[in-house]
Structure 1
Amino acid sequence: MSTTVLAFALRRTGATLLLLLALSLLVFGLLYLAPGDIARNLLGTRNVTPEALAQVRALHHLDEPFLQQYWRWLSRAAAGDFGTSIRTGGPIGPTMLDRTGVTAATAGLAFLLSVLSGVPAGIASAMRRGRWPDRFLVGLSVVGVSAPGFAVGLLALYVFALGLGWFPLYGTGTGFLDGLWHLVLPAAALALGLGAFVVKLTRAAVIRELDQDYVTFARGRGLSERTVLRVVLRNAAIPIVTSLGLMVAYLFGGTVLIEVTFALPGLGSLMEESVLFKDIPVVQALTLVVAAVVSAAALLVDLSYLLIDPRVRARTARR
């Protein structure tokens, strides 16, 4: 069975690598989908001579065939060299690396808050289905899912930072504890929508398992509710883990607005600045990195099924 499981993991890894290859080709092709001459777009609206255009094409290897340019860009990106920023003139890799810490800390804290609040709330809502705690939690989750992240961030800034003065208005602070305190409010604003999403999915997964016949049989045999709940949660773990993996994509999308709202110097604000200044190489690099992170999260979710549910291992072994 171990050989079969290893083959399953290798197939999933290979499929992920092929997906990343296709995404990298699409990301690189975005430069060529932009209207007009690429070299002229890189130079902006200034008046340029044909000699200047030729120099830009030679500098960025735009005079080479498309596939040759793509392979040059992909091979360098795989080695951590994403090229040079048009806006700053500096290398893109170190700039992204300097900002990764803020984004990772904000997203990680938001993920932790949403899981610690959403999963227990979803289980409690499912166990009290139809009663007032269930209706209350479902109502809160609907509000949380519907509320835009930037609006929640602005409201949190106005109430807790500007009004009550409990949290700082902007920045990352100095030192570990001060930096963590600066990230609590933006992480909580980001976790509101995520936690509501987790509540709804956890509730649906647990209710689906509670309606199964084996739960009725277990209760009929006199098993305690704690034992029944343990079995239910184990069987409901796959959709819950899947939802947590999908949250990674939501995290990167929501982090852009949260970082701009709270003036955090992370990858989200870098993406916003690069789009505004039409810094296409930086946008390409960020898009590729985000795609790689989301694909890696999806791969880990697939592989976690083998550890969580023995039924998946058994089906995999029979193939």
Structure 2
Amino acid sequence: MTRQILVFLVRRLGMTVLLLLALSLLVYGLMFLAPGDIARNLLGTRNATPQALDQVRAQYHLDKPFLWQYTHWLSHALTGDFGTSIRTGAPVGRMMRERLGLTAAVSGLAFLLSVLAAVPAGVVAALHRGEWLDRGLVGWSVVGISAPGFAVGLILLYVFAVGLGWFPVYGTGSGFLDSLWHLVLPAVTLALGLGAFVVKLTRAAVARELDEDYVVFARSRGLGRARVLGIVLRNAAVPVLTSLALMVGYLFGGTLLAEVTFALPGLGALLEQSVLFKDFPVVQALTVVVAVLISLTALLADLAYLTVDPRIRNRMAR
């Protein structure tokens, strides 16, 4: 059994490496083809003479062919050196480290809020199918999934920050509690959409298991409601874990909008500024880091399947 798991891990890691290489090449190609001239952006309002443009392009290797630029970046990235920002001249690694904590705090708080609220809500909706409680929870989840994140953020900002004055309008605060208070609205903005997504998936997974024959058999043998529900939740955990793993990718996209809406200087705001400026090193580094995070989360989800569902372990052992 251990050998099968090891083979599975090696295969998944190999696929992940190939995926990351393909993704980095794709993003680098899209940035290379995007309209705009980095050399002119760097010169700003100064006189952009042909000589000055050529000098800037030579300094940042912008005069080299596409594959040479990509290979040069990749060879340094594999050693942990993501280069220097074209826009600010600062090391890309340091720029990301300075903003990573804020983005991680917003994403982590949103993830925690959505899981604590959405998973129990999905279970309750499945146990009360067809009743008013189920219809209310499903209706809320449809609204939550459909509502754009930036629109939800603006509404929360206008009502609870500008109107009622309960929360700060922008900024990160000072000190742990004050900083946490500044992040509540951005986190709730993300958690509403994420929670709605998880509610529907959890409800569907639990409802499907409740209709299985083993539930009727377990009840006929006299097992208590709590015991049967525990078996159902364990069997429904695989799709729920899948949804939680997918939330990582959704979180980053939503965090970008939330950081712009609430003027938070996190990785999302850094990505927006870098894309607009065509800052190759920063965009590439952020893309690869996020892709690695999502890939590792998916791998952990697969390992969690093996833990919670013995049927998958048995199939691998054959």
Structure 1 length as normaliser, TM-score? Answer: 0.93
In the TM superposition, 1:127-276 aligns within 5 A as: 127-276=127-276
In the TM superposition, 1:64-83 aligns within 5 A as: 64-83=64-83
Q: Deviations over 1:279-317 (max 9, x none)?
A: 333222222222222222222212221112111111112
Task: Supply the RMSD in Å over aligned alpha carbons.
Answer: 2.0
Distance in structure 2 (CA, Å) of the matches to 1:155 and 1:170: 14
- Does 1:301 pair with 2:304? no
Contact kept in structure 2, 1:190 and 1:254, CA below 8 Å:
yes
Deviation of 1:210 after TM superposition, in Å, equals 0.7
Contact kept in structure 2, 1:27 and 1:288, CA below 8 Å:
no
Q: Deviations over 1:181-220 (max 9, x none)?
A: 1111110111001001100000000011111111111111
Contact kept in structure 2, 1:87 and 1:279, CA below 8 Å:
yes
Contact kept in structure 2, 1:141 and 1:199, CA below 8 Å:
yes
Q: Deviations over 1:234-279 (max 9, x none)?
A: 1100000000000111100000111111111101111222233333
Q: What residue is the counterpart of 1:96 in the other structure?
A: 96
Distance in structure 1 (CA, Å) of the matches to 2:181 and 2:245: 26
Q: What residue is the counterpart of 2:110 in the other structure?
A: 110
Q: What residue is the counterpart of 1:23 in the other structure?
A: 23
Distance in structure 1 (CA, Å) of the matches to 2:281 and 2:139: 43
Distance in structure 2 (CA, Å) of the matches to 1:171 and 1:36: 31
Q: What residue is the counterpart of 1:279 in the other structure?
A: 279
Rate the CA distance shift 1:87–1:68 in 2: closer, same or farther, 3 A.
Answer: closer
Output the amino acid matched with 2:222: G
Q: What residue is the counterpart of 2:125 in the other structure?
A: 125
| Long gaps (5+) in structure 1 | none
Output the amino acid matched with 1:26: L
How much identity, in percent, do the aligned residues show?
72
Output the amino acid matched with 1:112: L
Distance in structure 1 (CA, Å) of the matches to 2:192 and 2:69: 43
Output the amino acid matched with 1:170: Y
Contact kept in structure 1, 2:241 and 2:301, CA below 8 Å:
yes
Contact kept in structure 1, 2:150 and 2:261, CA below 8 Å:
yes
Contact kept in structure 2, 1:118 and 1:198, CA below 8 Å:
yes
Output the amino acid matched with 1:289: V
Report the secondary structure of 1:265's partner residue: coil
Of 291-300 and 216-225, the range deviating more from structure 2: 291-300
Rate the CA distance shift 1:43–1:30 in 2: closer, same or farther, 3 A.
Answer: farther
Q: Deviations over 1:40-75 (max 9, x none)?
A: 676578653443343333322345454443232113
Of 289-298 and 52-61, the range deviating more from structure 2: 52-61
Report the secondary structure of 2:130's partner residue: coil
Distance in structure 2 (CA, Å) of the matches to 1:308 and 1:81: 39
Of 281-290 and 171-180, the range deviating more from structure 2: 281-290
Rate the CA distance shift 1:152–1:312 in 2: closer, same or farther, 3 A.
Answer: same
Contact kept in structure 1, 2:82 and 2:92, CA below 8 Å:
yes
Rate the CA distance shift 1:65–1:276 in 2: closer, same or farther, 3 A.
Answer: closer
Output the amino acid matched with 2:166: W
In the TM superposition, 1:25-40 aligns within 5 A as: 25-35=25-35
Deviation of 1:83 after TM superposition, in Å, equals 1.9
Contact kept in structure 2, 1:157 and 1:169, CA below 8 Å:
yes
Distance in structure 2 (CA, Å) of the matches to 1:35 and 1:154: 31
Contact kept in structure 2, 1:16 and 1:299, CA below 8 Å:
no
Structure 2 length as normaliser, TM-score? Answer: 0.93
- Does 1:290 pair with 2:286? no
Distance in structure 2 (CA, Å) of the matches to 1:277 and 1:305: 42
Distance in structure 1 (CA, Å) of the matches to 2:42 and 2:202: 47
Rate the CA distance shift 1:3–1:38 in 2: closer, same or farther, 3 A.
Answer: same
Contact kept in structure 1, 2:190 and 2:258, CA below 8 Å:
yes
